Amino acid sequence: MHRPRSPGHAGRVRILVTGGAGFIGRPTVDRLVADGHDVTVLDLVRPAPRAGEASPGARLVVGDVRDEDTLVPAVRGADVVVHLAAKVGLGVDLDDIVDYVSTNDLGTATVLRAARRAGVGRVVLASSMVVYGEGAYDCPEHGRVAPGPRRPADLEAGVFDPRCPRCDAVLAPAVVTEDAPLDPRNVYAATKVHGEHLLRAWARETSGGAFALRFHNVYGPGMPRDTPYAGVASLFRSALAAGRAPRVFEDGAQRRDFVHVDDVAQAVVAATRTDAGPGLVVPLNVGSGAVTTVGGLAQALADALDGPAPVVTGEFRIGDVRHVTASSDLAEQVLGWSAQIGLRSGLATC
């Protein structure tokens, strides 16, 4: 067994950030460099807003995390690995499955093997709230229950909230905590769950410590645009920039937690300097703590950009979940972190 090095708690730490030139990676690296750390960025550097080069003060290695000829030298000597590189979004259809699995599952496995061989003692993994599938729900008769997939007939009829699996009553949404069962509902979600399982295998094998940060709906400057793989905030922003009304699926009442990218970057930085414990993986929700509907977000963006009012379409996608909002209290307890940027002030930065 390769015993990991402990990065300690203070001083200059050597950190590899995969995906460090991207949407979440760039502000994360900016903060790590500002804190005086020795940062290497490994990124494909695909064209994107705020991407294209590493933050000043960081060393940029251009390459794919699956390419060990590039990855192994980049991770050598690192105390901490922050693994942000991934293919994100729901995707278009099942034809995307191979790319998602290769990029996310094989990519994570390759990073973790290189980290073990290099004796890295701490890993911070970008996970996602999609690992939960549907969020937490309460039935008026049976209390907290786990709903199954929504019925196509209900969706066609405009009944968008899931039903109780025991009595068929329409359920009320609640907030989900990190001990909730994992229930991925699409390919991207499945890769994120598998990534967490791979991370646990790494921690057990090496006695290293790790955090799996379950990001909620991240928005802010630099978010990807004009792509079906972007998040809903990005898609609404792209429509408004083109003078089009945002198109809101279902009835717009879907509940989400939209968290600003700068707050997310601060959570990642906090995780790099916090001990998870030897052989442990600590999953943490990273959200704003505020519940916002998808329709409410679309309207807030339209107001902020003085654009056309959203159009609620009633359309739906089978792979979508209805409500998923979570408590981020554990992240505050473990990392000393909480989101600081409110939605309206955050949208002004987009």
The CA distance from 173 to 33, in Å, is: 40
- Sequence-separated (6 or more) residues with CB below 8 Å from residue 188: 87, 88, 89, 90, 91, 100, 104, 128, 130
| Separation CA 66–CA 288 (nearest Å) | 32
Q: Please enumerate in sequence order all residues whose Cβ is within 8 A of that of 226, keeping only pairs 6 or more positions apart, or say none.
A: 238
Positive or negative torsion for Cα 132, 48, 87, 162:
positive
Closest Cα to residue 335, out of 207, 169, 187, 178? 178
CA distance 157 to 175: 26
Which helix H or strand E contains 49, and what residues bound it? none
The bridge status of strand 172-176 relative to strand 38-43 is: unpaired
Catalytic residues, by residue number, are 188
Residue 196 burial (CB count, 10 A): 19
123 torsion bin: left (phi>0), alpha (psi -120 to 50), beta (else): beta
